[in-house]
Amino acid sequence: MSIPWLTAEVVEIAAETPRVRTIRLAVPGWRGHLPGQHVDVRLTAEDGYQAQRSYSIASPPEEPAIALTVERLDDGEVSPFLTGELRVGDEIELRGPLGGYFTWTVERGGPLALVAGGSGVVPLMAMVRHRAAQASRIPAHLLCSWRTAEDVIFRDELARLAARGDALEVTHTLTRTAPADWRGHTRRIDRELLVEVLPGPGARPTAYVCGPTPMVESVADLLVSLGHMPERILTERFGPTGGRS
């Protein structure tokens, strides 16, 4: 049986950063999802024109609504609409859950080495929220790379989760500019940062790496070179390669 398109109603829109919105959707007929999975969104214009895109789910399975956290891409067709024009009460269509590989539940165990570049944090956030909802104490380290402090998504919630004392650690690094009072790291994720922050290969962590392609390529290569097993490094990449096209 094919996965049906469902009608989803926008029940809440929250501004995370100037470029990022979290869209909470009520989806009658939703069959549940695993942290890390995504949905296809389909928008239909009055003239019948349709556009489809994939978005990771930010909410854990424990919440009834589906939350999509969407970053505005200025040259995009769907994300400027979702982050700028969509309103509470509007209807969109979605299909899912999709993607059965880049997923984690507490049954899978740990430790977890989560590495995010920008909005790549979204599927990892579903994992961290699920872990908290399950009152899990599985050791988990979340390392997030952002361009500037203004781009940090989920900053307050991540600080609250890390303060629970349940073996979740969250580390931020800023790659472009940092405010004077910034006490975190201020460089791209490099070998030293991975060694300092994440569990080593001896702890046999499962790594989930999600972000723009060059960042994921770099982090996955570094993890392999540090001795992490390639089959325990799960990746999700988005955006162009930056190379010839």
C-beta closer to other proteins: residue 137 or 232: 232
Q: 13 near 23, Cβ under 8 Å?
A: yes
C-beta closer to other proteins: residue 104 or 136: 104
Among 32, 165, 227, 240, binds other proteins (CB under 8 A): 240
Residues in Cβ contact with 160 at an 8 Å cutoff, skipping those fewer than 6 apart: none
Q: 23 near 10, Cβ under 8 Å?
A: yes
How much is the CA Rg of the chain, to the nearest whole Å? 18
Site for other proteins in 76-115 (CB under 8 A): 77, 80-81, 85-93, 98-102
Q: Is 243 in the site for other proteins (CB under 8 A)?
A: yes
CB of 137 to other proteins, least distance (A): 27
Cα separations (Å) of 15 from 85, 135, 151, 199? 13, 27, 12, 33
Contacts with other proteins by CB under 8 A: the residue count is 72
Site for other proteins in 110-149 (CB under 8 A): none
Site for other proteins in 16-45 (CB under 8 A): 16-17, 27-30, 40, 42-45
Amino acid at 154: F
C-beta closer to other proteins: residue 49 or 165: 49
Q: Is 195 in the site for other proteins (CB under 8 A)?
A: no
Nearest to 63 by CA among 109, 108, 110, 125: 125
Q: Is 244 in the site for other proteins (CB under 8 A)?
A: yes
